[in-house]
Amino acid sequence: MVSWQLSKRNDLQLVLDTVEAWTMKKDVSEAVLHSDQGFQYTSKGYNSRLESYQVKGSHSREGNCLNNSCIESFFSHLKTEKLYMTECKSEDDLRQALEDYIYYYNYKRFQRKLNKRAPIENRCALAA
């Protein structure tokens, strides 16, 4: 997980804010950003934003959740390993729970598919 935002609405602004946060962290030119075919990701605003950062957009095939299995798996783990066991009484509680889990997922949650490494460890090994 390299960038995320929290919003009360699943709209284009949420997606644009997330892309903006991602681009502030690193040079993303020539990166590929994969998404489903939701209205946010097929909009002119989204595609113009990607183009302005020289990012290539990639979309799943319509009706094929297997193309997004990586993020679907992440959300499943997030729910079962954190959110279902955490009582968030406020937006701040939810934000903290998400931050804690994303840190855990990226740095400490070893995954069989990544040669029993955490995502950050695997990324560093591939870049070496």
pLDDT in tens, 51-69: 999 999 988 777 776 777 8
> Is residue 120 within 8 Å of 104, Cβ to Cβ?
no
The alpha carbon dihedral of 53, 59, 65, 70 has a sign of: negative
User: What pLDDT is stored for residue 68 in this prediction?
Assistant: 76
CB neighbours of 86 closer than 8 A, spacing ≥ 6? Answer: 93, 97
Q: What is the pTM of this model?
A: 0.83
How is the chain split into domains, by residue range? 7-59, 63-128
pLDDT tens by residue, 25-52: 989 999 999 888 889 999 999 999 999 9
- The better pLDDT of the pair 19, 73 is held by 19
CB neighbours of 90 closer than 8 A, spacing ≥ 6? Answer: none
Q: 7-59 belongs to which homologous superfamily?
A: Ribonuclease H-like superfamily/Ribonuclease H (3.30.420.10)
For the chain, the 3-state helix, strand and coil shares in percent, each to the nearest 5, are: 55, 10, 35
